[in-house]
């Protein structure tokens, strides 16, 4: 389950960085 949490966190981080870039 730790792997899923890590993937979700990375995906959320990527989305936040993309929005911040706009």
Tens digit of each residue's pLDDT (9 = 90 or more) over 1-22: 688 888 888 888 767 776 656 6
Q: What integer pLDDT is reported at residue 4 of this predicted model?
A: 85
Return the structure tokens found at 6. 């890590």
Angle at 12 (CA atoms; ends 10, 18), nearest 5 degrees? 100
Q: What integer pLDDT is reported at residue 3 of this predicted model?
A: 85
Q: What integer pLDDT is reported at residue 16 of this predicted model?
A: 73
- How distant, in Å, are the alpha carbons of 5, 17, 20 from that of 13? 12, 6, 10
Q: What integer pLDDT is reported at residue 1 of this predicted model?
A: 60
| Number of H-type helices and E-type strands within the chain | 1, 0
């Amino acid at each position: 389950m730790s792997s899923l949490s890590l993937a979700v966190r990375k995906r959320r981080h990527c989305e936040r960085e993309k929005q911040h870039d706009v």
